[in-house]
């Protein structure tokens, strides 16, 4: 069975500061890993994905994440936070084989302070 | 670019009523997933279809059923609605196995 743990249900940073959202996964098979962002009353937008190619993955809006197998982690970072980054962020895992559903973490709400 | 279309965006029902949610995947996407997101919760997988056949089943109640049609759109049918069914229901589609899922904006279902 697969699972995802997101450390911190709420993270607050100042505008221009580093954003770090933590995600650890558990999977008995090689995983695919994703970060999605959800703005209020909207759907989930894919930020980036890890699919067993490069371990450092660059996504949209300046976000990136690094897959670390030894730490079973896939933390999301952005060098400089912008007010528009305030949203709910979900880390998700799925199996490599087949059309498998996503298993989401509980989400981390990011607040950006001016 | 075309996205996943869900209708309706909002739906209000009373207990014991029925509801039908519709999902139109991105063109040439043959796989559809349904997720339920309760207030303040993470999305939970309900059911998925690949090439019009059910491919996986998650925590979908027996009161719910779904299908994928020949044009690849999907419908989630919900009966005997309960207060606890109030949630945001997402549909996602992907073009082929192992490709990322693209989500619609969801249907917000409120049960009174």
Residue A39: CB atoms within 10 Å: 12
A46 and B102: CB-CB below 8 Å?
yes
A101 and B97: CB-CB below 8 Å?
no
Transcribe B48-80 into DSSP letters. Answer: EEETTEEEEE-S--TTEEEEE-TTS-EEEEE-S
Closest-CA residue of chain A to B49 = A99
Mutate to test the interface with B, among A43, A106, A107 (most CBs of B within 10 A): A43
B103 and A36: CB-CB below 8 Å?
yes
pLDDT tens digits in sequence order for chain A, 114 residues long: 789 999 999 999 999 999 999 999 998 777 889 999 999 878 899 999 998 778 899 999 999 999 999 999 999 999 999 999 999 999 999 876 656 789 999 999 999 999
């Amino acid at each position: 069975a697969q699972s995802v743990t997101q450390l911190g249900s709420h993270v607050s940073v100042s505008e221009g500061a580093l954003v770090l959202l933590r995600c650890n996964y558990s999977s008995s098979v090689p995983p695919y890993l994703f970060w999605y962002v959800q703005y209020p009353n909207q759907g989930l937008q894919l930020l980036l994905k890890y699919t067993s190619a490069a371990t450092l993955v660059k996504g949209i809006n300046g976000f990136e994440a690094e897959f670390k197998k030894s730490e079973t982690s896939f933390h999301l970072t952005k060098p400089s936070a912008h007010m528009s980054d305030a949203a709910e962020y979900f880390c998700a895992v799925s199996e490599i084989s087949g059309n498998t559903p996503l298993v989401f973490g509980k989400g981390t709400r990011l607040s950006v302070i001016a | 670019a075309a996205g996943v279309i869900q209708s309706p965006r909002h739906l209000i029902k009373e207990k014991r009523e029925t509801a039908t949610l519709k999902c139109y995947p991105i063109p040439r996407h043959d796989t559809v997933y349904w997720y339920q997101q309760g207030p303040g919760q993470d999305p939970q997988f309900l059911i998925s279809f690949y090439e019009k056949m059910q491919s996986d089943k998650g925590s979908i109640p027996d009161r719910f059923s779904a299908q994928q049609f020949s044009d690849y759109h999907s419908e989630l049918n919900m009966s005997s609605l309960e207060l606890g069914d109030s949630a945001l229901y997402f549909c996602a589609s992907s073009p082929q196995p192992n490709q990322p899922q693209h989500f619609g904006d969801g249907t917000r279902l409120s049960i009174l």
